[in-house]
Every structure is written in C-alpha cells, then in structure tokens.
C-alpha cells in the first residue's frame, strides 16, 4: 500500500499520523486491521571513566508516531555493535525485540581524559511498546568481544509516570522518497542543523542532493526501492554549527558541533534529548544529520546517527562514508589520519564486519569471498602509501594550523586521492578480496578486505565485504529480496 501526500515533497503531521496508522494496520494476508504498536523510548544516562560504567534511568517516553518496523523482523540476527539490547516480556520471558548498537561512551573510555574524570552521555533505546510489563536488558562486549550483561531495568507501559505528551513538531516533514509503508521499508530521516528560516529551501535541496548521492553508490543503488527517505530541519537563529577550534561558536537546535573529543573534523551532537524529541515526529530507523557548514567533517555511530558537512566539496563521500558507520557498523579502514583514541592491541578479533586481526588459527571473517589464489596476508604497496600519507598529513595540519581557506584543503585532498587511486589501481591484487594490513586506525596488526574502499580512502566504491554488510542490514529492516 503506497502512502500519498497532498502536496509534492511535503506532508502535514496530522495527515502523516492517519496514513501511518492505516498503512501499518492493514494485514496484507487477511485484510483485517491490526493497529501497529506505539513507539516507546527509554532515555537513560550513561556515565563512567576507564574503571567504572554506570547506566541510570531518565524517563520512559511514548513517541507521537506508531512503530515503523515490521513485526516479523523484530529480532536482530547480525550480531553487530558495541552493545546489544533485548526487550523481554516480564511474565513469559519471550523475546519481543532486539537490536545491536554502539554508543559515544566507548569512545570516551578510549580518551586519555577518561583516566582522570567521569563523563556522562544521554542515550535512548527505541522499541515497539509492549502490551504489558517487560524488561530491557543491555549487554556489552567484554574483553573477548562477547556480549555480557551490563544493565537491566523493568518497564511498565501502564505506569502513570510514562511521558505521553510529546513536544510539538519543530519543523514540517518533507518526503524525499517514499516507496511503501514504513513497516516494509528502511526509514531514513535526514535532519538539518544550522539552517536559518531563510535557508529552508537550501535544506530541502541539500537533503535531496545527499539522498541522490547515497543511492548512486552500490549496493544502495540496487536497493533504492527498499528505502523511504524523510527530511526535517528545525530552524536555527544563525547559519552553521559550532566549530570551537576555529573560534566559531553557534547555538543550533540539534546541538551538532565539530571538535568532538578534540578531533577537529569529528562532528557529533551530545544533545540526545533534543535529537530524539525532534526526530520523533517522523517515522525513522536511521538518522543522518546535515550540518550547514563548508569545513570538511562528519561522524557516524552505529544505530545512533551520522553527520556530514553538507557544503564540503566532499559532501557526497562524507554522507555515504559516515552512513556506512551508522547503518552497517562498518569500521574505519584508514590508519594514517590522526585520531584521539588510545592505540589498540590486536589480541582480540574485532566485531566489525570489515576488519580482522588475523589471529592465529582464525581466518578472516570474509574468507568465503577470498579466491584460493590470493595470498593472506595480501601484499600491497604499503611503504609507498605510508611515505606519501605522512607528507600529506603534515601538509594537512599546516593548513589547519595556519587557518587557511577550505579551498586549499580541498586541493590537497584531491591531489592525495589522485595519488592513492593511481598507486592502488596499478598494484597487483588491486581487485582482489584478501587481507591487507593497515586498518582500524593501526598500521600493523589489523587488516581490511580490499586494497581500496570507501571506508579506506575517498574512493567512491564499497568493497564486496562492506557491500555485503550493507545488504544484510537492508534485509533486517526491509526483508531479503
């Protein structure tokens, strides 16, 4: 059943409610009406340092729209994420819903500052409202990357303290692409931050441009009909978002800013409550935030959200790369860029689908895609790559330190990508799936599946392993083809 809208590209909130309820309630097998469950959100505080991790209940919220997911795809079978949560019926113990996810919190633990002080992050878990009391169980990976219990809380949808009065919608909901009822599709919400009232037409154009960029890349291109794409931008008083390292201070409605964890290109929001309240007025499972800035930057957290600087020359790449983190839990494969994290020791196999530690007796998790004639580890021109990358990173830092125009950075990026493309395309094994050393921010001990990939350089193609991971996520929400 296809939804409709009264005016191209725009839909009133009241009309959307009626459409969602009707579309999600129609039983295609029997023709009977089965109302979808409400959408419930558990908000909590995530606090700690390198030695202690604490979860603390904040509130239970009923969001204004019905649950957008399909009841037959309630259980996560992908096994991804730093964390995993389960919704379990309190009386019967039946598993009602589960999803893997990641969090900003483990990144905090890897900061040197976490050895000296505590920090707190506000987070949310969303799920279909259960019919009666239930338990939410949060598991976290241990030192061997196995899920172990971290927190459990009993919830009761009938509790009088459940928040049932949603905040008013902050912006009109735009329909970028609508291919079916939300329950049958992946629902992507594009949010804008740092757009003034006078820039709303720009936001709509940006959202459409970035959606087109996503569906220009395989396997999203082949699976475009499995997606609905919505967009919304609460107006900000001033254009752009904060970038403290350059002295740019801004209040924006989603709280997005550069310099997360003191990495000048890392763009996150730490205002989760604002994000979730604003997003609750759209049917969504994934969120990508467009920051109305030119300076190169972005970020992506699996199952939480992704960000991208929409006016960067490299916006198409940024959008797809960061969405790869958020959507399919893809790890960064680069290893020459400076990051704020403490070095990793390759003594445990990473859980991410596109990196491996090649531990003794353990083949790469993508071994089925490796030809018998491809050596593992797989040779590649790593010394030449590293020699150039060291000089390139020095020049990049000099441009930033001197406060040079973004155009100079773009020229450097283009020069570097041209060098990397030529070096890697001309090398033996350039088209092979194998195990190429250098990934996960480390030059040694971790391996990526292809010589080049959208998760390694600004190359515009996902490797076969990353493509497979993306396809598996689409299947989880929209069903396999």
Q: What's the pLDDT score for residue 343?
A: 65
Better pLDDT: 268 or 5: 268
Domain extents in the chain: 36-155, 173-328, 367-459
Q: What's the pLDDT score for residue 469?
A: 98
Nearest to 175 by CA among 187, 159, 163, 158: 187
**Confidence bin at 3 (pLDDT 50/70/90):** very low
**Confidence bin at 26 (pLDDT 50/70/90):** very low
> Are the C-beta atoms of 401 and 395 separated by less than 8 Å?
no
For residue 104, what are its two tokens? 């900003």
For residue 12, what are its two tokens? 């009133």
> Are the C-beta atoms of 63 and 277 separated by less than 8 Å?
no
Question: Which residue's structure tokens are 């909130």?
Answer: 13
User: Is the pLDDT reported for residue 354 higher than 50?
Assistant: yes
> Are the C-beta atoms of 232 and 282 separated by less than 8 Å?
yes
pLDDT averaged over the chain? Answer: 92
Residues ≥6 apart with Cβ < 8 Å to 291:
193, 194, 240, 241, 256, 267, 297, 307, 308, 309, 310
Better pLDDT: 206 or 14: 206
For residue 61, what are its two tokens? 């919220």
> Are the C-beta atoms of 266 and 258 separated by less than 8 Å?
yes
Residues 329-354 have a mean pLDDT of 85
For residue 180, what are its two tokens? 């079916």
Question: Which residue's structure tokens are 């707190």?
Answer: 120
CA distance 154 to 293: 42
CA angle 477, 306, 20 (to 5 degrees): 40
For residue 270, what are its two tokens? 């730490």
Q: What's the pLDDT score for residue 346?
A: 82
Q: What's the pLDDT score for residue 340?
A: 52
pLDDT digit string, tens, across residues 64-120: 999 999 999 999 999 999 999 999 999 999 999 999 999 999 999 999 999 999 999
> How many Cα atoms are found within 13 Å in the side-chain-facing hemisphere of 454?
25
Better pLDDT: 371 or 22: 371
Q: What's the pLDDT score for residue 409?
A: 96
Bridge-based pairing state of the strands 286-291 and 305-309: parallel
**Confidence bin at 34 (pLDDT 50/70/90):** confident
Question: How far, in whole angstroms, is CA 132 from its chain's centroid?
Answer: 31
**Confidence bin at 19 (pLDDT 50/70/90):** very low
Query: 23-37, 323-337, 424-438: which has the minimum mean pLDDT?
Result: 23-37
User: Is the pLDDT reported for residue 27 higher than 90?
Assistant: no
User: Is the pLDDT reported for residue 22 higher than 70?
Assistant: no
CA distance 141 to 420: 35
In what helix (H) or strand (E) does residue 108 lie, and over which residues does it extend?
A: helix 105-109
Nearest to 327 by CA among 473, 171, 162, 175: 473
Cα end-to-end span (Å), the chain: 18
pLDDT digit string, tens, across residues 392-418: 999 999 999 999 999 999 999 999 999
CA distance 451 to 75: 34
Phi then psi for 391, rounded to 5 degrees?
-65, -40
255-260 contacts at long range (C-beta below 8 A, 24 or more positions apart): 255/193, 256/193, 256/194, 256/289, 256/291, 256/307, 258/293, 258/295, 258/297, 260/299
Q: What's the pLDDT score for residue 13?
A: 43
For residue 102, what are its two tokens? 């990641």
User: Is the pLDDT reported for residue 178 higher than 60?
Assistant: yes
CA distance 95 to 69: 16
User: Is the pLDDT reported for residue 342 higher than 90?
Assistant: no
Q: At what angle do helices 464-478 and 315-328 cross, to 10 degrees?
A: 60
Residues ≥6 apart with Cβ < 8 Å to 479:
70, 72, 73, 184
pLDDT digit string, tens, across residues 423-481: 999 999 999 999 999 999 999 999 999 999 999 999 999 999 999 999 999 999 999 87
For the CA atoms of 455, 459, 461, 466, the dihedral, rounded to the nearest 10 degrees, stands at -10
pLDDT digit string, tens, across residues 120-131: 999 999 999 999
Question: Hey, which residues does 192 pair with through a beta bridge?
Answer: 290
User: Is the pLDDT reported for residue 349 higher than 50?
Assistant: yes
**Confidence bin at 149 (pLDDT 50/70/90):** very high
Residue 318 — left, alpha, or beta (φ > 0 → left; ψ -120 to 50 → alpha)?
alpha
pLDDT digit string, tens, across residues 292-308: 999 999 999 999 999 99
pTM as predicted = 0.92
**Confidence bin at 24 (pLDDT 50/70/90):** very low
Residue 247 — left, alpha, or beta (φ > 0 → left; ψ -120 to 50 → alpha)?
left
CATH topology for 36-155? Immunoglobulin-like (2.60.40)
> Are the C-beta atoms of 481 and 224 separated by less than 8 Å?
no
CATH superfamily, domain 173-328, is Collagenase (Catalytic Domain) (3.40.390.10)
For residue 377, what are its two tokens? 């580890």
**281: preceding bond cis by omega (within 30 degrees):** no
CA distance 176 to 188: 10
**219: preceding bond cis by omega (within 30 degrees):** yes
**3-class secondary structure, 209:** helix
């Amino acid at each position: 059943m296809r939804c409709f809208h009264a005016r191209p590209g725009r839909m009133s909130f009241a009309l959307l409610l009626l459409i969602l309820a009707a579309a999600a309630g129609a039983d295609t097998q029997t023709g009977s009406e089965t109302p979808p469950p409400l959408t419930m959100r558990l908000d909590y505080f995530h606090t700690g340092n390198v030695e202690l991790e604490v979860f603390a209940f904040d509130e239970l919220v009923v969001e204004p729209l019905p649950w957008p997911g399909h009841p037959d795809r309630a259980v996560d079978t992908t096994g991804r994420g730093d964390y995993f949560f389960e919704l379990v019926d309190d009386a019967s113990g039946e598993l009602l819903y589960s999803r893997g996810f990641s969090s900003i919190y483990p990144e905090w633990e890897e900061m040197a500052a976490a050895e000296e002080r505590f920090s707190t992050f506000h987070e949310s878990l969303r799920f279909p409202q259960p019919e009666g009391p239930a338990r939410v169980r949060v598991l976290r990976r241990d030192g061997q990357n196995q899920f172990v219990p971290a927190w459990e809380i009993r919830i009761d949808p009938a509790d009088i303290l459940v928040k049932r009065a949603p905040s008013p919608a902050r912006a009109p909901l735009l329909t970028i692409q609508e291919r079916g009822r939300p329950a049958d599709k992946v629902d992507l919400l594009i949010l804008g931050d740092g757009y003034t009232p006078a820039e709303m037409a720009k936001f709509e154009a940006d959202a459409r441009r970035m959606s087109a960029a996503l569906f220009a890349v395989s396997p999203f291109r082949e699976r475009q009909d499995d997606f609905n794409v919505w967009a919304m931008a609460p107006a900000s008083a001033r254009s752009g978002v904060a970038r403290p390292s350059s002295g740019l201070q801004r209040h924006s409605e989603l709280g997005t800013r550069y310099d997360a964890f003191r990495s000048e290109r890392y763009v996150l929001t730490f205002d989760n409550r604002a994000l979730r309240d604003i997003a609750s007025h759209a049917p969504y499972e994934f969120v990508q935030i467009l920051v109305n800035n030119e300076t190169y930057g972005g970020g992506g957290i699996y199952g939480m959200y992704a960000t991208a600087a929409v006016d960067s020359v490299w916006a198409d790449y940024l959008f797809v790369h960061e969405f790869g983190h958020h959507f399919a839990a893809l790890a960064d494969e680069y290893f020459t860029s400076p990051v704020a994290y403490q070095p990793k020791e390759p003594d445990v196999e990473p859980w991410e689908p596109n990196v491996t530690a090649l531990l003794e007796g353990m083949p790469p998790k993508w071994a089925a895609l490796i030809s018998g004639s491809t050596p593992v580890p797989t040779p590649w021109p790593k010394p030449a790559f590293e020699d150039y990358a060291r000089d390139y990173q020095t020049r990049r830092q000099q441009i930033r330190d001197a406060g040079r125009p973004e155009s100079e950075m773009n020229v450097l990026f283009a020069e570097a990508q041209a060098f990397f493309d030529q070096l890697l395309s001309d090398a033996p094994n350039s088209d092979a799936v194998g195990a190429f050393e250098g990934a996960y921010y480390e030059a040694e001990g971790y391996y990526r599946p292809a010589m080049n990939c959208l998760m390694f350089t600004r190359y515009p193609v996902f490797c076969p392993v990353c493509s497979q991971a993306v396809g598996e996520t689409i299947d989880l929400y929209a069903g396999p083809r």
